[in-house]
Structure 1
């Protein structure tokens, strides 16, 4: 099963994909804070076609974040296979680390998405809202299972409504957990 090539969405309109996505669930990583909540990603398309990525999470009321970029793995392919690049450590951009970001499912209205990696070690359920309808969530989980993921590892991310504002509040600038969790290291 794990040898089967994953089905990836084709023809994603990057402009429509931009904006904020809330993490509804993900595979926990030992690098990610166990009590991280309100985790979200904000994507902004630059003029050169590269995507700016801002990942944020809150732990004990402190905002942790890391910034990076994303770009199509193969500019000539219409498959939604992106590479995400972060620098370690974030405040000292010396070593770029690159991970895979494959869009496995995206609804027609660009309201929810299933993101994976070829290693199948990482999986994310993202939504434009802080909450996703159970029926839709279960469909996405079923889809992930069909693609060979161990969905028993999925952990729901606590999201508060309304979500925190962002830049304000005490910061946790380490951000290292984000990079490692994204890269499957």
Structure 2
């Protein structure tokens, strides 16, 4: 029997969590380009304690990206429950859309992580490198399964080596990001 309350990491060091994370696998969104590759997120801590979020993916040689802000849902809690806010559309910041970003597992080296949402509609496996050891991957999948996620929906993300440079890429507006993040 799957439990309702998802177990979340406690005492996360946000400063250590910053930097680039590669998406190893996720629940694909129907709005995400089917051929999206090299998907990654870069987190940067701001002076006020919030986090700048940059999500990128490449599709047909174009870089799709969206930026947002992450912050702790409850500043008094030591649980790694974050809210992520993006503006729709990204190039016209009018309507903020907020989603949950819960860190369900993080190894002590801050090398790989399992991110989910309490609704269980979204799940991500992230790693500091764009490849993750198969055994560790399977352990993260088992952990997600134990938390009640339908892991049959997980799809591995394709990466090229070396990863693309952001500066080289022609931009595309990347509206699909929003829909994928909020499971719309």
**1:167 & 1:147 partners in 2: Cα distance?**
39
TM-score by length of 1: 0.98
Q: Partner of 2:88 in structure 1?
A: 88
Q: Partner of 1:165 in structure 2?
A: 165
RMSD (Å), alpha carbons: 0.8
Q: Partner of 1:55 in structure 2?
A: 55
1:3 CA drift (Å): 5.1
Q: Partner of 1:182 in structure 2?
A: 181
Give the unaligned 5+ runs of structure 2.
Answer: none
The aligned runs of 1:1-185 (5 Å cut-off) are 1=1, 4-173=4-173, 175-185=174-184
1:2 CA drift (Å): 5.1
Structure 2 residue matching 1:91: 3-state secondary structure: coil
**1:184 & 1:28 partners in 2: Cα distance?**
9
Structure 1 residue matching 2:167: 3-state secondary structure: coil
**1:31 & 1:69 partners in 2: Cα distance?**
21
**2:181 & 2:100 partners in 1: Cα distance?**
8
Residues matched between the structures, number: 184
Structure 2 residue matching 1:6: 3-state secondary structure: coil
**1:66 & 1:4 partners in 2: Cα distance?**
31
Q: Is the 8 A contact 2:29 2:180 kept in 1?
A: yes
1:161 CA drift (Å): 1.3
Structure 1 residue matching 2:11: 3-state secondary structure: coil
1:176 CA drift (Å): 1.1
Structure 2 residue matching 1:115: 3-state secondary structure: strand
**1:28 & 1:169 partners in 2: Cα distance?**
23
Give the unaligned 5+ runs of structure 1.
Answer: none
Alpha-carbon deviations, 1:34-75, whole Å to 9, x = none? 110000000000000000000000001100000000000000
Q: Is the 8 A contact 2:2 2:146 kept in 1?
A: no
1:122 CA drift (Å): 0.4
TM-score by length of 2: 0.98
1:146 CA drift (Å): 0.1
List 4+ stretches of structure 1 deviating above 6 A.
none
